[in-house]
Structure 1
């Protein structure tokens, strides 16, 4: 009998939960979302960095449930916009966290900007909080640039406008398998897996 290690993911975002499950379950983790464990509180993200927000979320949930919790804070950093939307990625166009509105805002801010000036990266900070242990963090990223219009039907968030470097596809044009090999979250999760196994 294989014993699965339980990993609670501190998010209410179904897209993130799906990615965590696809990446961690083959590594022997029984992934549970906040909804699956009945945790309904919203954790305020007041940090100034992805890492600070990930730590806040992981520690708050771990304290409440007394189990290992993995939290991420991730987003899009666009060079021409001084790193924006950054930690405000989900709420870039307002508190309603509307993916389409966020995409439209980014595209309007980059209107008329040449491809070479549209460089960007998806960044993901992961924090793992285990009761009685020090919280550990890792960061992953993937480089690319911003498309002039949305393309693709997969993924979520800014995926339809983020063209992966060295590919002519947006994240939303990649299958889950393709995305989970190269994404910022996959990069961070690989690093986290090594950290947890050490």
Structure 2
């Protein structure tokens, strides 16, 4: 069965395909080539629903959409829904990461708590809607490490690691996809996918 993923971000498509391969190999995630809606929601859930509704209406398929970001405690939960645009409208991942590190330069390690948050919306062509969320707690490093992942991965150190602490940028794809905020949200989504 095909489910359209409402994103033009190839990194997210690859992540969802890897997560599905581990959990629901019977589902095929297809990319979305339709128009992008204006993401004017003020929560991850609102923006995920906007994207999933647009993709379901455009394709006639059940659609999933992820809205996600990094939430830093000392910044009151920011960048949050503005994670992709933290350094401006260009969606420059390196500039976003550099700005966040600069803003936290004087913050001591015990106060660098953060979490990746993912909300996934599922919308059917008939109009049924669901949202689920996943949270991956951790803290922010003082400098980037590793060449894997994308976005803020090289500065995010997840809680609960066995062995030496590493950033997500140092994780293998398999490690990331089994633990990430998207994987956690997707686990909550699996029972809802059974009815498709």
Per the normalisation by structure 2, the TM-score is 0.94
2:94 paired with 1:96: no
Match of 1:172 among 169, 173, 182: 169
Q: Give the aligned partner of residue 54 of structure 1.
A: 48
C-alpha offsets along residues 178-198 of structure 1, whole Å, 9 cap, x if unaligned?
Answer: 001110000001111122225
Show structure 1 runs of 4+ deviating over 3 A: none
Q: Give the aligned partner of residue 193 of structure 1.
A: 190
Q: Give the aligned partner of residue 72 of structure 1.
A: 66
The gaps in structure 1 that reach 5 residues or longer are: none
- Find the aligned partners of 2:123 and 2:90 in 1 and give their Cα distance: 28
SS in 2 for 1:132: coil
Deviation at 1:43, TM superposition (A): 1.9
C-alpha offsets along residues 102-161 of structure 1, whole Å, 9 cap, x if unaligned?
Answer: 001100110021111000000000000101142111000100000000001110010000
The gaps in structure 2 that reach 5 residues or longer are: none
2:153 paired with 1:124: no
Cα contact 1:25–1:31 (8 A) shared by 2: no
SS in 2 for 1:64: helix
Per the normalisation by structure 1, the TM-score is 0.93
- Find the aligned partners of 1:162 and 1:43 in 2 and give their Cα distance: 29
- Find the aligned partners of 2:46 and 2:127 in 1 and give their Cα distance: 17
2:17 paired with 1:18: no
Q: How many equivalent residue pairs? A: 190
CA RMSD of aligned residues (A): 1.0
- Find the aligned partners of 1:132 and 1:29 in 2 and give their Cα distance: 19
